Structure 1
Amino acid sequence: MMDRRKFIQAAASATLLTGASGRLSNLFAQQPSRSPNDNIQLALIGAGIQGQADTHFAVQVPGVKLVAVADCYDGRLTHVKELWGQDLFTTRDYREILNRKDVDAVLIATPDHWHKQAAVDSLKAGKDVYLEKPMIHLYSDGPEIIETAKSTHRILQVGSQRVSSIVYAKAKELLASGAIGKLNMVTARWDRNSSTGAWNYSIPLDASPETCDWPRFLGSAPKIPFNAERFFQWRKWKDYGSGVAGDLFVHLFSGTHFITGSHGPTRAMATGGLRYWKDGRDADDVMLALFDYPEGFNLSLHVNFVDGGEESEGFLFTGSEGLMEIDGRTNSVTVTRTPPEKEPGYTVSTFADAMQKAYVEQYHQKYPAQHPDGPPPQTVQTFTAPAGYSDSYDHFHNFFASVRSRQPVVEDATFGFRAAGAALLSNVSIERDSVVHWNPETMKLV
């Protein structure tokens, strides 16, 4: 909910509630295969804004040590040593990290177009992987990542931290208990109103082909001359990022799928455009989309980088008997119940007076008045996370617990592909100017 620069500063000094992860500890009840006193040696691949923010949380999990970092900008390699020690091994080439025997797991926070290759290479090198969202940049990435994780028998967790949130766990519990009746609609948003929120990240004064490994950054992307804006603000271009769908819609899908248990939508339609940030980027700054779910509900999403209010993230789940709202600013979930009337009611005012009288008499015979019994129903219920709570910390705690125990993660590659695949339907719909269809079970465009 903060801009990324402030997020990093806050992450470094936040008081984290390690006990909150215990709410999900039943997932990891078996004894770990390695001593819990042994450090998990972690390497970071991609030390940009998200990578450094993730690392602040990762290294606060007991028994985790950062030992190596790879990034294509020399200034970041200097800064990670300033943050985490001069003994860190640093390199521009992440393959040097994968060759190291002292690295147990890697945190991949590269631009989206590098996610698949970095993850596949890491898994094949015998490393467990925490892969930032969106898991994919292209649809063809998903099956290869899933298959590689299976064939190598390594742990892979995707980095959508809402899946580990105690707030979202409470929302899941409430929905399953019937707190709002039968779900029929979900409305979600993530709006921003700042230049940095719209991906205009600062470019260092020394940015140049000498300090930035431009060819390595490009990877599979089209080969063009060095461009510092594309290097440091890569989310603004489809060659490297996935737009607001891959950056923010995917969080909303992860939350929706976790809470509802759904595997994803079957139909999508989207619209959007560059409404304000016409600075050379080709990724839209406003996007709206609608999705049909086989469970019988619709999902409506929007992201607006030209929002005139505060940055906000949230959900509204609409059911037959009430509403459930998740507010990202207060880190809370609130249920407001409106139980359906037991009587159907009547509309007789347009009938003749005699007919009105006869109808009402018959109605009261069929539905006699009843005195309320017991206490009045609780119409509003709110659960708020404790002050200082961090679902990012919990997500890393759960990942490292799986690394130790070799038990399933809370967000595996299949879940990650279904969330990212659904999110990127929005881009496909806009590109095709049409409704698009998706099979959430086979994870394929139809």
Structure 2
Amino acid sequence: MKNNRRSFLKKLGLTAGTAAIAPAVFANDQPDIQFLNRNTTWDAAQPIRLGLIGAGIMGTEDMNTALRHANVQMTAVCDLYDGRLESAKQKWGSNIFTTKDHKELLKRSDVDAVIIATPDHWHKQISIDAMNAGKHVYCEKPMVHSVAQGMDVINAWKKSGKVMVVGSQGLSSLGNEKAKELLAAGVIGDIVYAEGFWARMSPEGAWQYNVPADGSPKTVDWKRYISNTSDREWDPLRFFRWRNYLDYGTGMSGDLFVHLFSSLHFITNSKGPSKVSSMGGLRYWKDGREVPDVLLGSFDYPETPEHPGFNLSLRCNFVDGTSGTTYLRIVGTKGSMDVKWEEVVVKLNQNAESDDPFMKEQAKLRAASGQEERAKILPPRETSYTAERSWKGAHYDHFGNWFNAIRTGGTVVEDPVFGFRAAAPALLCNDSYFQDKFIKWDPVNMKLV
């Protein structure tokens, strides 16, 4: 099993460096998917015309990044708050179409693709509506608001033949690609454990977003906002600080753990854990929020043809004195890797031997002739790989991957199957926390056990 797995991973490693020129090589192998009406005749001179649904902090950042690419235009914006629609015209031009109804935007013939950056509870429905309307989709993570919604999006995507990518942009980072290559080459041996940490320090980083003075039922379509969840009276905090509330957000795990799951699954080619547990508490931000501000998660990954069995530990802290520390560490039998989007640091164990074939051959010859063991040249205990300064970043490359797939009829690094497999264990953290129990998950068939 181990030799077959290593051979398989080495083949993956050989392709890792090609992501920038051929992003499709990292797409999930899903032989059962039959794409319908996939556009393969996109004129290179034809611009991709974008609509933005959800023009808040992340939506604005997404659109600004997308527009850095050549031959991409913005034509329409949908948001439920007048202030954001007015701001959109100031940022991107007074000629863009604006609306509070996403279906009105989806009807437009001058919109080829949409960026969905709404609160999480609208991801599923707007993604499905967009693909049914013939639009390509970039949907912010997590792909869905609950595990029960995942297959609905996947099935709509398969039927539509459109390109949908989920916005965990770290998947398009040079750091993740290098880590994937190094793991496949056996640099740190076989994975046995991984851990990730995400901390936020500022009030805004703890979701204390600005509440505009003019926010009211007159400027916000509150009824539309809550139409797919519990009926409530107007509450500006539930609209402008939505991540704090379970009806609209997915807590720390859905916001941040999902990034770490995405990176780990990409690097290891894993489909996900089989057991999920979490604990935490509301330690500091006692402002009416419903979700913890400190969260710990533990996950059991079973042995598969792609990787040995291993365990994962994740932590998230909004009561933080570490200035926003973030990392993903992968630990193997020979060493470990600290993985960031722009850097990978490899640290080898003291007993790790050189992989230099010349040194190994010399050692064999000396042993065969009975010669005394000679001192060895050891490999460096720590090696850093850093992206070139000219790199435009993971966010830029993630959009480039999507645009390339739209133009060529290709695939993307984070399609809905990959996106759901990353979202599911993050969402199940919430279930484990609030239900106070272990959750069993089938990562292959993507269902609860």
Which category describes the TM-score, using the shorter chain as reference length? Answer: 0.7 to 0.9
Distance 2:293 2:221 in 1: 28
> 1:320 aligns to what?
333
> 1:24 aligns to what?
20
> 2:356 aligns to what?
none
> 1:415 aligns to what?
418
Q: 1:28 to 1:246 in 2, by over 3 A?
A: closer
Q: Are residue 399 (structure 1) and residue 436 (structure 2) matched?
A: no
Aligned pairs (5 A) from 1:66-77:
66-77=74-85
Q: 1:340 aligned to 348, 351, 354, which one? A: 351
Distance 2:323 2:219 in 1: 36
- Give the SS at the match of 1:140: helix
Aligned pairs (5 A) from 1:30-109:
33-109=41-117
The answer for unaligned runs of 5 or more in structure 1 is: 1-20, 343-366
Contact 1:28 1:405 in 2 (8 A): no
Distance 1:381 1:445 in 2: 41
> 2:384 aligns to what?
382
Deviation string, structure 1 residues 128-180 (Cα, Å, up to 9, x no partner):
00011000101221100000011111111100011111111001101111110
- Give the SS at the match of 2:323: coil
Aligned pairs (5 A) from 1:189-228:
189-228=197-236
> 2:314 aligns to what?
301
Q: Which amino acid aligns with 1:277?
A: W
The alpha-carbon deviation at position 312 of structure 1 amounts to 1.6
Distance 1:339 1:445 in 2: 42
**TM-score for both structures, normalised by structure 2:** 0.86
Q: 1:341 to 1:151 in 2, by over 3 A?
A: closer
> 1:311 aligns to what?
324
Q: 1:368 to 1:439 in 2, by over 3 A?
A: farther
Contact 2:192 2:311 in 1 (8 A): yes
The alpha-carbon deviation at position 205 of structure 1 amounts to 1.2
Decide which structure has the larger Cα Rg and report it. 1
- Give the SS at the match of 1:24: coil
Distance 1:292 1:57 in 2: 36
> 1:150 aligns to what?
158
Aligned pairs (5 A) from 1:128-207:
128-207=136-215
Deviation string, structure 1 residues 261-308 (Cα, Å, up to 9, x no partner):
000000111101111001101011110011000131100001000011
Q: Which amino acid aligns with 2:435?
A: R
Distance 1:187 1:369 in 2: 42
- Give the SS at the match of 2:118: coil
> 1:292 aligns to what?
300
Deviation string, structure 1 residues 214-261 (Cα, Å, up to 9, x no partner):
111112121111111111100000000000010000001000100010
Distance 1:155 1:425 in 2: 27
Deviation string, structure 1 residues 159-210 (Cα, Å, up to 9, x no partner):
0011111111001101111110111000101011121011000011111111
Aligned length: 398
Distance 1:121 1:323 in 2: 44
